Chain A
Amino acid sequence: MTYRFRDLLALEPLTADELRFLLDQSKPFQEIQKHPLKKLATLRGKTVALAFFENSTRTRISFGTAASRLGADTMNLQAEASSIKKGETLLDTAFNLNAMKPDCFVMRHSASGSADYVARHLDVPVVNAGDGTHEHPSQGLLDALTIRDRLGTIENLNVTILGDILHSRVARSNIHLLGKFGCKFILCGPSIWVPRELEKIAPGVPIRCVYKMEEALEGAHVIIMLRVQTERLNDPPLSANDYILLYQLNAERLKRAHRDAIVLHPGPINRGIEITPDVADGPQSCVLEQVTNGVAVRMAILYLVIAGATESGTHPALEAKPKESANATD
């Protein structure tokens, strides 16, 4: 099997087989994370453009680390320092970065569909690192990888997603990935953030919107917390105390979930708002594994879109032993 797209813009159009392939391709890169020497030479001489039009810390660092562990160089655009502030259009900025001849264009932007839009105009692979409230494909993949590692499967699970689903690109990518493996979803949060329309965004996937947290957690195998974007608490005006009262994940509520349930959070966490510290740091939490897996998944993505896939399922990347690239310096 090979990856049949030039870009990675969304998980929605991918089939279950293609998604499984992406997860399988991440596996060897997970191993790399355990090596004392983590740098490969696979993409030596290649350049990855990291165009973050919207502020991001962990995703940008994660993609940057993934690129450098594959031996690629990066060029960085950060919203604050960029010419967007001077009125340059997204497309002009993209064309300018592209004129420096990167081999791949990783982008994050606050407008939904912006990666799709840029991909239509660029001649290099575009990887969506989060577009508005649409999708965040690499997060969806790293979440699935984390779940598969912990629970041994991503099939037929009860998945509960909590928080501001309407504005969450993570939730959409989770649904479009796990939904293809028979998972059932319960979405829970204040009704203004959990509109009923969400039940129909992935035809064939059982999705139910629930407004009582106790009910939402019943029998859950996987609990995906979303960050409460505190800036959104103003629109609509919603009291943080009310949110905590109704929707905070604490140890007591967690007991309603399946005994072996795991808790994911894409970060950054608002401790004491959507999740209590004891849960965030407890044995059921996978938060830091998610971050580690993020690098592996992004290495696989960059590898596949830049160098292409192999039939065998083993990476030529791994045939070049880490030792060989140990001399490489940045």
Chain B
Amino acid sequence: MLLIKNGRVMDPASKTDAALDVLVEGEKIKEVGPAGKIGAGAGAEILDAKGLIVAPGFIDLHAHLREPGQESSETIESGTKAAARGGFTAVCCMPNTKPVNDNASVTRFILERAKATGRVRVWPIGAASLGSKGEAISEIAGMKEAGIVAVSDDGKPIATAKLARQVMDYCRSLDLPVIEHAEDVSLAAGGVMREGVSSTRLGLRGMPAAAEAVCVARDVQLAELTGARLHIAHLSSKASHEQVRWAKSRGLRVTCEVTPHHFTLIDEDVTYDSRFKMNPPLAAREDRAALLEGLADGTVDAIATDHAPHEPALKDVEFDRAPFGILGFETALGLALEQLVHSEKTSLMRMVELFTTGPARVLGIERKIAAGQPADLTIVSTDRVWTYSIEDSPSKSRNSPFKGRKFKGGPVATIVAGKIIYKN
């Protein structure tokens, strides 16, 4: 038994925002009741959440755990430890491992490793095409049976419109979302940051904003053609945002996510430090403004980290040669509080939604604080001041541009299946 008392329960699913106690028994929530009214039996563990928010467990729709195949950058164990520190109770891991998660054996391997070593729930995403090569559809039904929650060729887009259409058709019948890394690779080829004044000044090769929007436009049309559930990963530009808004206004089943780094930083922040190199790249000032708008008005469905660890030997090279991607788990909530809540762009409830019911809806699952639900909870402080000291991170990598940043508010405890797996 675990009694979480004196907290402020914020549950976007039921629009609850009240002083409530939560009693957990085993892996499930047993009771939610007015503060001080729930009696816990002797020996029950008490978590005093005075001054803290009790939220449904955070879900990250987009992460790279690097296992199998790139364990020197991250493992399921180290990655999920970092996720727990970030307040995440479940992470969806992208299939671009070695080998690629394009069949049920790899899916099962990931789930077995997660069971043995993972700290939070791991929900694998299967490759849309075999080897994510964009040639033939992978064994999606088999992977679904093994436990994938979506498909994606993340790291790159589904190569051709024809294949994307086939994948969407197929996934519609399997009721799986198709997650698209939207990028016209011929337009973006060779680019290392967003094309604009900053890239021109720095002499770094640019990728135009249109590289993303062209692909989003293609996929939105295909979502209309097929009726599939399409989810745009790490949406970064105003033009793409407008495509998604249009799709939603047409009633299409199109959703999207935005990363904390895209709503925090812009291309003008880029220096020759490869910790500012990711794909999609940091966008223009007006793109960030559009993303903040979408996060507030509901066009954006979820905040996802795109946690992409790369060991120093790979990442600490000249900018042109460094791989794309940065760490995301541990700074996501701090950045969301800073950029959305403290700056009064969104309400606290809306921010919680973007980490919980928002991503859950994308996956077609429920997420709420109610009796009988899995006891996955994230306890949040909105005012504790802390510094991201990357040396303390359980991640095996160090590629974050937010190293040393000061935050106001962040995760205080992470509870998965009734167990406190992280407490600060």
Residues of A within 8 A of B (CB): 89-91, 109-114, 116-117, 131-135, 166, 169, 172, 195, 197-198, 200-202
Contact = CB atoms under 8 A, between A and B. Distances in A.
Nearest to A114: B318
A135 B205 CA distance: 14
B317 interface: yes
Given A169-B203, A195-B200, A197-B196, A112 B272 contact: yes
Contacts of A202: 201
A172 B200 CA distance: 9
Contacts of B200: 166, 195, 197-198, 200-201
Nearest to B190: A235
Given A113-B203, A113-B271, A134-B203, 6 more contacts: A112-B203, A117-B318, A132-B320, A169-B203, A195-B200, A197-B199
Contacts of B271: 113, 116
Contacts of A90: 317-318
B274 to A, nearest CB: 8
Interface on chain B toward A: helix, strand, loop, or mixed SS? loop
Contact of B321 (A111, A131, A198): A111
A19 B170 CA distance: 64
Nearest to A53: B318
Contacts of B293: none
B197 A197 contact: yes
A14 to B, nearest CB: 15
Given A91-B316, A113-B319, A135 B272 contact: no
Contact of B318 (A113, A166, A200): A113
B202 interface: yes
B202 A134 contact: yes
A131 B318 CA distance: 11
A117 B202 CA distance: 13
B204 interface: yes
Interface of B: 195-197, 199-205, 271-273, 316-321
Nearest to B320: A111
Contacts of A117: 272-273, 318-319
B82 to A, nearest CB: 26
Contacts of A197: 195-197, 199-200
Given A116-B272, A200-B197, A201-B197, A91 B317 contact: yes
Contacts of B199: 197
A185 to B, nearest CB: 14
Report, nearest first, the 9 A-B pairs whose CB atoms are least far apart: A113-B272, A134-B203, A133-B203, A112-B203, A111-B318, A111-B320, A197-B200, A201-B201, A200-B197
Contacts of B318: 90, 109, 111, 113-114, 117
Q: Which residue, B202, B203, B273, B320, has most C-beta atoms of chain A within 10 A?
A: B203
A113 B196 contact: no
A132 B203 contact: yes
A9 B241 CA distance: 39
A200 B218 CA distance: 32
A146 to B, nearest CB: 23
Contacts of B201: 172, 201-202
Query: Which residue among A109, A111, A198, A201 has the maximum number of chain B CB atoms within 10 Å of its CB?
Result: A111
B311 to A, nearest CB: 13
Contacts of A113: 202-204, 271-272, 318-319
A322 B196 CA distance: 50
B202 A112 contact: yes
Contacts of A135: 203
Contacts of B320: 110-112, 114, 132
B193 to A, nearest CB: 10
A123 to B, nearest CB: 17
Given A134-B203, A201-B201, A112 B316 contact: no
A148 B319 CA distance: 36
A132 to B, nearest CB: 5
12 contacts: A89-B317, A90-B318, A109-B318, A111-B321, A114-B318, A116-B271, A117-B273, A133-B204, A134-B204, A172-B203, A197-B195, A197-B197
